[in-house]
Amino acid sequence: MFFNRLLSFLVLSLLLLTNAWSFDEVDFHNVGQGHCVVATSTKGILVIDAGSSSTMGVDGILEEKEGKFQALADKISDSIAGRIKKPDIPLNFIMTHADKDHINLSYLIVEVLLKKKAILVEKVKFILGGKEQEYSTGDATDLAGFLKEKKIPHCYGESFKPLAEGLLWVPPDSLDFVFGPDDISFLSVKSEIASKAPKKSSKPSKSKASSQPPNESAKRNASSIVVRVICKKSSVMITGDKTRPEIANIIAKHEKQGKADLLKSDIVLATHHGSAEDFSPEWLKAVNPAYLVLSCGTSSFFHPRYEAVCSPAVLSNMRLVKDVPWHPVRFFEERGGGADFREAKDKFFPVCLDKPANFRATPYTYAMTNLGIYVTADQGTINFSFNEGKGIVVKASKQHGDVNVVTAFSSFLRSSKEWSKIIFPAPAFLPENIVWVTANCTGLTSLDLGGCNASDAATKDLCDLIVARPSLTSVNLSPNSISEANKRKIIEAWNHRGLTI
């Protein structure tokens, strides 16, 4: 009897310890064009990716400033230092692959923490996705050199061993990585699809590009680590820049073994910053997240794309979450690209906004949403905390939103006075008291309400807006949404500027 009680106590204690070790907070830092995820537990700190190729859009960091990446690393280091209770706590890094926008902040962060004596160098360890040779050029060389200089233990994805019928991977025992299978699951650590050599043909190739091997960047992306992080009773899926064929391979392996449920996660970081070429509807279906995070900047890559943010494939595979405040998210779509928002219903209201002075912002469409979709370029650093009693709690450093869509939209417009053109594509809403909502858009020259049902009740607001905004040179209304009498009132308010409806 005593032995059974002792055994039960030991098992329970082990379970409690395991729960204590799972992560209780995860930060998706706003690093501009890049990735940086920091997970905190009583067992240690885990950093997944830490890199940026452009700091444009990061609060307090100037893109043209010399040392901008160091300034960003300092900012992240301060955040990590605040989570470290004592210097001998393990600090483990996972670099998904060898691209600059995933690695160039990592060694800067370690240097800062060492100078502050916030950590001990012997407690730092690195896992690097892909092959060792991929870290022999560019910024990856700096990271490899730093690890060698500081004698920091590290290993590469190619040295991992397969586990559980080839579904999972484990690092070599020699690394002594502090986080084990109860904390994280490595679904992929390198490129698993053999690149096929082009077929030989007696006929000359019509396209040189078709016979060329994948470029080095594409190879590194394919090598990205895919890791699932356990957070109390929740989980987070991180995919780096994993390519769509590699993702399809992961799904196929799990389905073949009848273990597709192991891919389910509450939070997913969009692959490749929300790029169109690597977005996978099948992956969203397999993961079936409640929250989707897109880590990107306002660079000329024009991430994230419509497909990865609010396409029917995304909206139909997101689990609905209660009490998410209305907040703005951006996406890139060519004008007239055929975006279909019918699936969004009352969860997504697209709003096209133009900033001609900034070519990097011009093509973006914004939307107000109360779905669990967040873009670091808009929400800043996004914090998820996990409490078994409260579930998942989300906090954003900016543009967190509001329970009222009009209040949230007004706050969003106040965040920039540069908006020159506002378009409400159908289906969309016409905010109540549009004068108040657009009060701070001092540069507004064009208002397109052609996609809205601007009812007769909105006549006074529209007249007030036209009078209050002398900068307006163009207003478009749906021809059948307002009476002839009220059209005349609006034309009179427009006066000498001339308005046709």
Same domain, 442 and 406: no
Answer yes or no: do 410 and 475 share one domain: no
Distance of alpha carbon 399 from alpha carbon 417, whole angstroms: 15
Residues 384, 441, single domain; the answer is no
Per-residue pLDDT, 492: 76
Burial class (CB in 10 A: 0-12, 13-18, 19+), 266: buried
Same domain, 273 and 352: yes
Q: Please spell the DSSP secondary structure of 428-461, one letter per residue.
A: ----SSHHHHTTT-TT--EEEETTS---GGGHHH
Q: How far is CA 348 from CA 311, 424, 447, in A?
A: 11, 12, 20
Is residue 204 in some structural domain? no
Question: Of 357, 388, 416, which residue constitutes the final position of a domain?
Answer: 416
Averaged pLDDT for residues 205-224: 62
Structural domain includes residue 361: yes
Q: Is pLDDT of 451 > 70?
A: no
The answer on pLDDT for 462 being more than 80 is no
- For the whole model, what pTM was predicted? 0.86
Highest mean pLDDT of the ranges 87-91, 320-324, 335-339:
87-91
Within 10 angstroms of residue 473's Cβ, the number of other Cβ atoms is 13
Residue 197 falls inside a structural domain = no
Angle at 304 between CA 301 and CA 309, to 5 degrees: 165
Q: Which tens digits make up the pLDDT trace of 1-48?
A: 444 443 333 333 444 344 445 899 999 999 999 999 999 998 899 999
Domain endpoint, select from 416, 447, 467: 416
pLDDT score recorded for residue 395: 95
The least confident of 50-54, 159-163, 306-310, 362-366 is: 362-366
Same domain, 391 and 343: yes
Instruction: Calculate the average pLDDT of the chain.
Output: 81
Tell me: do 441 and 487 sit in the same domain.
yes
- Owning domain of residue 323: 20-191+218-416
Indicate if 443 and 350 belong to the same structural domain: no
Domain of residue 286, CATH code? 3.60.15
- Count of domains forming the chain: 2
Of 140-149, 330-339, 352-361, the least confident? 352-361
* Residue 369 lies inside a defined structural domain of this protein: yes
440 and 410 co-located in one domain: no
Tens-digit pLDDT profile for residues 86-109: 899 999 999 999 999 999 999 999
**412 and 454 both lie in a single domain:** no
Residue predicted with more confidence, 361 or 50: 50
List helix spans (H) across 257-346.
Answer: 281-287, 306-309, 312-315
pLDDT band, residue 180 (cuts 50/70/90): confident
Residue type for 138, please?
A: G
Give residue 357's pLDDT. Answer: 44
167 & 260 share domain: yes
Confidence of residue 463 (pLDDT cuts 50, 70, 90): confident
In a domain, 398, yes or no: yes
CA-CA distance, 446 to 471, in Å (whole number)?
A: 9
Give dist(CA 372, CA 327) in Å, integer: 10
What is the b/e burial string over 413-437, where b = at least 16 CB atoms within 10 angstroms of the residue's CB? beeeebbbbbbbbebbbbbeebbeb
53 is a domain residue: yes
Instruction: Tell whether 309 is covered by a domain.
Output: yes
Q: Is residue 250 part of a domain?
A: yes
Verify that 388 and 463 share a domain, yes or no: no
Structure tokens, 73 = 């690393």
C-alpha dist (Å) from residue 401 to 325, 411, 429, 460: 5, 8, 17, 28
Looking at the fold, whether 412 and 440 belong to one and the same domain comes out as no
